[in-house]
A and B are shown apart, each in its own frame.
Chain A
Amino acid sequence: MIELTVNGTKHRVDVVPEMPLLWALRDELGITSPKYGCGVAQCGACTVQIDGKAVRSCQSRIGEVAGKSVVTIEGLDNRAAHPVLQAWIEHQVPQCGYCQTGQIMQAISLLELIPKPTDEQINEVMSGNLCRCGTYPRIRTAIHAAAAKMARK
């Protein structure tokens, strides 16, 4: 049994320690906002926070996450009013939406590091998150809008 905290709740999962966190979340705990896209850190759809940092959950072994705090988009504080999610809704970023939870988790982490990122900085941090539908122009706009919202607070 491996114990981990997800979105503030303690869980115990009976899996091998090398199982990626992604699959423990999805198939053992039924938390499906982190998505499987590539399994090799090429798409970013599985991005979650571990101890406050954005990570690819397909690359984190559950055995190494034991005892740490995992946050998925469901567990964000005050989610409905979160400036990044708000900006994402206002600018209607998603098309199919499959990559978007990963995009948002990555964007939140970007804005924590760089509160007012330039396009260049957005390119650098967000290019690891693949969007096959091509919502990139809206991702850029939403990040700038979220940065402005957060600066006002």
Chain B
Amino acid sequence: MGDMHRLSRRAFIVGSAAMAGGIAFGSCSEANQSAPTGNGNPLAAGLGPNAVTFNPWVEITPEKITLIAQHADIGQGVGSVQPIMIAEEMDLDPGQFEIRFAGPSPAYFNTGFADELAPFLAADQSPAAEEARAVALESLRKSGLQMTGGSSTVPDTYEKLRIAGAVARETLKAAAAKRSGVAVADIRTQSGAVILPDGTRIPYVELSAEAAKISPVLDAKPRDPSKWRLLGKPMTRLDVRSKVMGELKFGIDLKMDGMLFASVKLNPGKGQPLKSYDASKAQSMPGVKKILEIKNGVAVVATNSWYAMRAVEAIDCKWAPSAYPAEQADHWKALEASFKPEFLGKEWRKIGDIDAGLKDGTPVKAEYRAPYVAHQPLEPLNGVAVASDAGLEIWVGHQSPQAVQSIAAAAIGIKPEQVIFHNQWVGGSFGHRLEFENVRVLAEIANQMRGTPIKLVFSREEDFLQDIPRQISVARYTGSVKKGKIVAADLKLAGTAPFKGLLERMGSPSKDPDPQLAAGLWNVYYDIPNFRATSYEAQGLSPCTTWRSVGASTAGFFTESFIDELIHAAGADPMKARIEMCAVPTYRKVLETVAEMSNWKGPLGKGKGRGVAFVESFGTPTAEVVEVTVTDRGIRIDKVWVAVDVGKVMDPINFENQVQGGVIWGLGHAINCELTYAKGAAQQTNYNHHEAMRLYQCPDIEVRGLENDPKVRGVGEPPVPPAAPALANAIFAATGKRIREMPFNKFIDFV
């Protein structure tokens, strides 16, 4: 695609209009955050005597050093890598500092969303693209949006945390210079202390009072990566030991004096109200303290979570019907009827003459489907809160601190700044902890139980019923091939809009087309002379939200399966053809690497098959090869090879774990999971109905991280999208059967 640059410029004109309209986060800049103090550093307000803070990420008192993790740890390891980036520059060793999650503040706005919001392909490094990213960055700065998501933690913090650490280091050196009269140039730092030329060691904590009296050395530069002690090298994640020992406290493990336990039953027709209820049976059940009516359901407060869950289950509720179709078949019908101009999201990209291209050569046509899927991290939705006349204090693991404030406040009629939020270690999210079901009802319950700390725990069944799922989507793709090459690809999909849904529930509705419906659809890097990518947004269906890798989790499957179909129709090798067509040199390298890792040499025969897929999501190009064997018990997934280019691998062991986990997430749900509606309620209410992958189905997964991309990229989500198409393509290679709908186990058996 030699015309990528020109096309991108055209996209920019459209995109910048969207940006000027405050694309996403306009209203987040309103009063839903505490006013920053001390030059915008929220740590300044709570600082004790003789303590110092250099920036929003470093705090030193005479007793201890605390490093602030602004992104929520939902299992992806950022509770470790964020402080390590600071520690690297401060010459701190693991164990010499404490970690605290950030409170809500615009000081922690996420710069990492800039690339995702600018309407340019990730591989486009043109000045116009960079200019658009700069505009997006300013809009993010203005909004002050603090959010974990979009695989953005490392892209967001790579520069700013290393600079934060460098500023702390240089300021501590300056304080030591002032005390000792030695020139700064002759002072060094090591292992949590400033070292004077005569070898005298002054621990940082002893310098806090003096460092507080001088101006921070703001022009401090982070070190060259070649000097790193910790980053980029095998290290032990800071949370591993306490997790293995069973000592780490997740949000669900918190305990407060006088605390009572609550559980809820909410309208399974998501978001609709309660009509009436009969709690006579629950009233007299053991442990029950109180039965409460809340906005869209009922709650029981009891002396034990199990008593609360059991009693709430015994309440007979009459619900208002769901706003979306009660039966699943009608969801599919609505999607099928959405390929019409009135549902147009956007024509994201057009190259060449698509109509002429489609008439040239052998036509190929296919329809693909992806169902709703639930998130279901193992730690169910929960939280602890206590309400008083002053407001609400809430302890909950969440990816959007400011939105927790505004949602909780709105639920009980107070101001966002009256909500004090404490983030918690989270037992998995996958997008679940970007939503607010637990936050809203916990605020309501605590408000009705003023003065009593309340721990809310959703039963697994309730968590499934209230899970706002991944988008449902149908793709109708047409293309043509001629003389062994792809001549045209016209990619159209209809889906529910996950990102717009989230924004709306956050109180920032957007009229712009959902960019996540373009992910995996428009960012195709193959040299196809006639190409078009169009999204349609289905209306009136289930609310949907971001699910690990979001739009690319479905469109990546559609697109890379269809590309495989085209390559097959053209009579070419799936790997060689992709490598030849790939228009971005660094991305081609990712494909070449996975070919080399898997020793790709064409068909395997003997009941074995291999499939390859390549998807760039969140700026991270990822290629996967899946190898399967046909057995008498079904398809066995033997091995997966993955190559990922993140520009810089910060934490190599966790990197591998994340990539393997992403592959397992992608494969497991593609094989085994769907969420369907009957009578307006999700039919899957526990893991036996929605199993994803268990150990016995898990293949060997070999991972290689590349560092060729000019930018530092995230890795939490990008390994997910290629997994499903690589598997479907492998099954085709082994059996000749093309599976075009998830979950695959509806069409073929797996071991």
Seen from chain A, the residues whose Cβ lies within 8 Å of a Cβ on chain B are: 15-16, 19-20, 22-23, 26-28, 30, 32-33, 35-40, 42-43, 45, 72-74, 79-80, 85, 88-89, 92-101, 104, 122-124, 126-140
Contact = CB atoms under 8 A, between A and B. Distances in A.
Which label, helix, strand, loop or mixed, suits the secondary structure of the A interface? loop
Contacts of B306: 19-20, 22-23, 27
B305 A136 contact: no
Interface of B: 74-77, 236-237, 239-241, 243-250, 252-253, 255, 261, 286-287, 303-307, 309, 376-380, 425-428, 430, 457, 459-461, 653-654, 657-658, 660-665, 668, 686-688, 691-696, 698, 700-701
Contact of B661 (A35, A89, A135): A135
B660 A40 contact: no
B379 A16 contact: no
B695 A35 contact: no
Given A85-B245, A127-B696, A92 B653 contact: yes
A73 to B, nearest CB: 4
Contacts of B427: 35, 96-99
A134 B693 CA distance: 8
Contacts of A131: 378, 695
Contact of A94 (B239, B287, B668, B695): B239
Contact of A96 (B241, B376, B379): B379
A66 B296 CA distance: 40
Contacts of A15: 286-287, 304
A16 B286 contact: yes
Contacts of B252: 32, 35-36
17 contacts: A16-B287, A27-B304, A27-B305, A36-B460, A42-B687, A72-B246, A80-B245, A85-B244, A85-B245, A89-B236, A95-B75, A95-B657, A97-B425, A131-B378, A134-B662, A134-B664, A134-B698
B77 A124 contact: no
B241 A130 contact: no
B695 A96 contact: no
A134 B687 contact: no
Nearest to B692: A132
Contact of A42 (B76, B77, B688): B688
Given A92-B653, A98-B377, A136-B693, A37 B239 contact: no
Given A23-B304, A92-B653, A135-B657, A98 B236 contact: no
A136 B664 contact: yes
Contact of B304 (A19, A32, A88, A123): A19
Given A27-B305, A27-B306, A96-B426, A37 B700 contact: no
B575 to A, nearest CB: 24
Contact of B428 (A23, A93, A133): A133
B694 to A, nearest CB: 4
Contacts of A32: 246, 249, 252-253, 255
Given A32-B253, A101-B246, 9 more contacts: A27-B303, A37-B379, A39-B459, A40-B460, A80-B245, A95-B658, A98-B378, A133-B428, A138-B660
Nearest to A14: B303
Contacts of B236: 89, 92
A72 B665 CA distance: 29
A140 to B, nearest CB: 7
A52 to B, nearest CB: 18
**Interface-centre pick from A79, A97, A136, A138 (highest chain B CB count, 10 A):** A97
Nearest to A13: B304
Given A42-B687, A73-B246, A124 B378 contact: no
B688 A37 contact: no
Contacts of B241: 89
A13 to B, nearest CB: 10
A26 B253 CA distance: 8
A19 B688 CA distance: 23
Contact of A130 (B378, B658, B665, B700): B378
Given A23-B304, A36-B252, A96-B379, A88 B244 contact: yes
A94 B428 CA distance: 11
B378 A136 contact: no
B698 A137 contact: yes
Contacts of A42: 686-688
* Nearest 10 interchain pairs by C-beta: A96-B75, A98-B427, A134-B664, A33-B246, A97-B243, A134-B661, A23-B306, A73-B246, A32-B253, A136-B698
B460 A37 contact: yes
Contacts of A104: 244
A89 B240 contact: yes
Nearest to A38: B460
A39 B241 CA distance: 26
Contacts of A79: 245
Contacts of A16: 286-287
Nearest to A27: B304
Nearest to A31: B246
Nearest to B426: A96
Given A23-B306, A89-B236, A95-B657, A124 B696 contact: yes
Nearest to B701: A137
A35 B244 contact: no
Contacts of B303: 27
Nearest to B664: A134
B261 A98 contact: no
Nearest to B458: A36
Contacts of A94: 237, 239-240, 243-244
Contacts of B376: 132
Given A30-B255, A92-B240, A35 B77 contact: no
A137 B693 contact: no
A130 B245 CA distance: 19
B409 to A, nearest CB: 28
A153 B238 CA distance: 28
**Interface-centre pick from A15, A30, A131 (highest chain B CB count, 10 A):** A131
A38 B686 contact: yes
Contact of A98 (B245, B250, B305, B658): B250
Nearest to A86: B244
**Interface-centre pick from B236, B246, B248, B426 (highest chain A CB count, 10 A):** B246
Contacts of B687: 37-38, 42-43, 130
Contacts of B698: 134, 136-137, 140
A138 to B, nearest CB: 6
A76 to B, nearest CB: 9
Contacts of B76: 95
B92 to A, nearest CB: 21
Given A27-B261, A92-B657, A136-B695, A37 B378 contact: yes
Nearest to B690: A42
A89 B241 CA distance: 6
Contacts of B661: 95, 133-135
Contact of A138 (B249, B286, B657, B696): B657
A43 B307 CA distance: 21
B686 A40 contact: yes
B125 to A, nearest CB: 32
B464 to A, nearest CB: 10
Contacts of B688: 40, 42
A89 B693 CA distance: 23
A27 to B, nearest CB: 4
Contacts of B247: 33, 74
Contact of B695 (A22, A93, A139): A139
B240 A98 contact: no
B696 A74 contact: no
A137 B659 CA distance: 11
